[in-house]
């Protein structure tokens, strides 16, 4: 088993969510872990699978207009207009995939914090559990094991997870303004991938983008763009 480092891609909100889910469900080299960083064609907000759309519509910025999409994972509302977004998939049988959600959350964020520290960012993990457990707007307050600034307590990074019979999908977001202007993001990506490989005890290798079955990406993107999906709750 290796950690596959996939090429960076840009997409709309529905396409990005569809690709993350397909990396969990249909990855051709399923025994391997996979990691990707991706960007956004247009301003976008995503929100957790369990969130109620009536509340979510009160949260995204009114201007400029943003793409809005429900994630296959949980969590709160994430504004992607100035973030660094990534997805990590661990296949069934990996020790961290079999661990409790709080442990996989801590391990991935510890790797992320170490990569930020290498760039001079005073990053650490949030140690206290907040009084209010319900997910809201992602970067308004830190949850247990989120990445925060040691000097101010400001939240830098959060994530959401989904486990099923195929493995674990981890969708994460780093708020660039909280990380600071000095971060060199290409170098950060290399450092983060190396830290993940160490945390997962897997060799890392760059691989081409997988070839999904014809129509799978378009079909799932269409589903994630539909009112039935976005307004599911």
Once rounded to an integer, what is the mean pLDDT over residues 9-38? Answer: 94
The pLDDT assigned to 64 comes to 66
95-127 b/e (C-beta count within 10 Å ≥ 16 → b): ebbeeeeeebbebbbbbbbbbbebbebebbbbe
The pair of structure tokens assigned to 134 is: 């319900």
Q: What is the pTM of this model?
A: 0.92
Q: Do β-strands 204-206 and 78-79 pair in parallel, antiparallel, or remain unpaired?
A: unpaired
Separation in Å, CA 195 to CA 112, 126, 189: 7, 19, 10
Distance of alpha carbon 177 from alpha carbon 159, whole angstroms: 17
Query: Taking Cα atoms as reference points, which of 10, 53, 76, 81 lies closest to residue 226?
Result: 53
Cis peptide before 224 (omega within 30 of 0): no
**Cβ atoms 33, 88 nearer than 8 A:** yes
What 120-125 contacts at long range (C-beta under 8 Å, 24+ apart), as own/partner pairs, is: 120/182, 121/149, 121/156, 121/179, 121/180, 121/182, 121/183, 122/149, 122/150, 122/151, 123/147, 123/148, 123/149, 123/150, 123/156, 123/179, 124/148, 124/149, 124/150
**Cβ atoms 85, 37 nearer than 8 A:** yes
Once rounded to an integer, what is the mean pLDDT over residues 180-208? Answer: 97
Quickly count: other Cβ atoms within 10 Å of residue 29's Cβ.
13
Coil, strand, or helix at residue 137?
A: strand
Strand order across the 67-70 sheet = 67-70, 44-47, 78-79
66-124 pLDDT, tens digit each: 889 999 999 999 999 999 999 999 999 999 999 999 999 999 999 999 999 999 999 99
The pLDDT assigned to 65 comes to 72
The pLDDT assigned to 140 comes to 60
The pair of structure tokens assigned to 18 is: 């569809």
Beta bridge partners of 88: 35, 170
Predicted confidence (pLDDT) at residue 131 exceeds the cutoff of 60: no
Yes or no: domain 3-230 corresponds to CATH 3.40.50.10740: no
Q: How confident is residue 163, by pLDDT bands cut at 50, 70 and 90?
A: very high
Least confident of 63-72, 135-144, 184-193: 135-144
Predicted confidence (pLDDT) at residue 186 exceeds the cutoff of 60: yes
């Amino acid at each position: 088993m290796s950690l596959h480092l996939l090429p960076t891609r840009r997409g709309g909100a529905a396409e990005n969510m569809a690709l993350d889910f397909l990396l969990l469900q249909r990855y051709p080299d399923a025994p391997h872990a996979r990691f990707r960083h991706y960007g956004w064609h247009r301003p976008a907000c995503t929100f957790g699978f369990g969130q109620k759309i009536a509340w979510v519509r009160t949260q995204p910025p009114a201007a400029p207009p943003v793409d809005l999409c429900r994630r296959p994972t949980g969590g709160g509302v994430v504004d992607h207009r100035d973030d660094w977004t990534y997805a990590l998939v661990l296949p069934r049988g990996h020790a961290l995939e079999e661990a409790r959600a709080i442990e996989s959350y801590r391990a991935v964020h510890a790797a992320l914090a170490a990569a930020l520290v290498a760039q001079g960012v005073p990053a650490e993990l949030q140690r206290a559990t907040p009084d209010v457990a319900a997910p809201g707007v992602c970067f308004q307050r830190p949850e247990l094991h989120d990445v925060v600034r040691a000097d101010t307590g400001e939240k830098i990074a959060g994530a959401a997870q989904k486990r099923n019979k195929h493995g674990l999908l981890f969708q994460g977001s780093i708020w660039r303004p909280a990380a600071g202007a000095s971060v060199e993001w290409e170098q950060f990506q290399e450092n983060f991938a190396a830290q993940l490989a160490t945390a997962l005890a897997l060799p890392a290798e760059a691989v081409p983008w997988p070839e999904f079955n014809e129509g799978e990406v378009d079909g799932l993107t269409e589903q994630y763009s539909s009112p039935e999906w976005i307004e599911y709750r």
